[in-house]
Structure 1
Amino acid sequence: MTYVFDPEIQRAVLGHMNDDHRDDNVLIARAFGDGAPVASARMTGFDGDGGDWAVAHEGGATVELRVPWPGGSIAERREVRREIVALYDEACRRLGIEPRPH
């Protein structure tokens, strides 16, 4: 059964990702999305199995993107950061971009 994080944890993570890591959201959307040019992306949710993004394409369409956590299912707050960093690193690898140090 998929783990559901407390709403306070979700608000904190989503606020951090959408306020402080907008470019990372776009990288993740570009690397794991459908290949269409990405204008912007917002993390909209997550659970123990993966993260969700609303991805706005340059043509105006918005699509939902679900990306599973690279390390598998999680159930601890500290694991969320680890998995988002792993997604960022994999996105950089797929796109041929040097990741920044963590």
Structure 2
Amino acid sequence: MTFRFDDAAIAGVLHHMNDDHTADNLLIVRAFGAPEATAAVMTGFTGDHAIWMATTPEGDREVTVAWPGGSISERPQVRKQVVALYDEACARLGAEPRPHE
């Protein structure tokens, strides 16, 4: 059964990703299913995957990406998994990842 995070956890992560990491959102969707995307926003996540809405020349479409480390159930794990997706996206697209704090 897929773990469902509470509304506060989801809102906090989405706010952070969509306000502070817009370029990372775009990089992730380009690497994992929408290479033609021109913009992306994170719209949700569960214990099994994260979800973005990608803007493409053909219109908006959802991109769902499984967490690389498998299922999660705690909020701190979300950050680790998003960082892992970012690092994998950089590797797939040949981009230099920035250092993580």
Question: Aligned partners of 1:34 and 1:64: how far apart in 2?
Answer: 9
Query: Unaligned 5+ residue runs, structure 2?
Result: none
**What TM-score results when the alignment is normalised by the length of structure 2?**
0.96
Let me know the Cα RMSD of the aligned residues.
0.8
Q: Deviations over 1:45-88 (max 9, x none)?
A: 0000010000001x251000000000000001110000000000
Percent of aligned positions with the same letter in both sequences?
56
Residue-pair matches, total: 100
**Residues 34, 20 of structure 1: alpha-carbon distance in 2 compared, 3 angstrom cutoff:** closer
- Equivalent residue letter for 2:79: R
Query: Unaligned 5+ residue runs, structure 1?
Result: none
**What TM-score results when the alignment is normalised by the length of structure 1?**
0.95
Which residue number corresponds to residue 68 of structure 2?
70
How far has the Cα of 1:98 moved from its partner?
0.8
1:95 aligns with 2:89: no
Contact in 1 for aligned 2:34/2:54 (Cα 8 Å)? no
Could you list the structure 1 runs, at least 4 aligned residues long, displaced by more than 6 angstroms after superposition: none
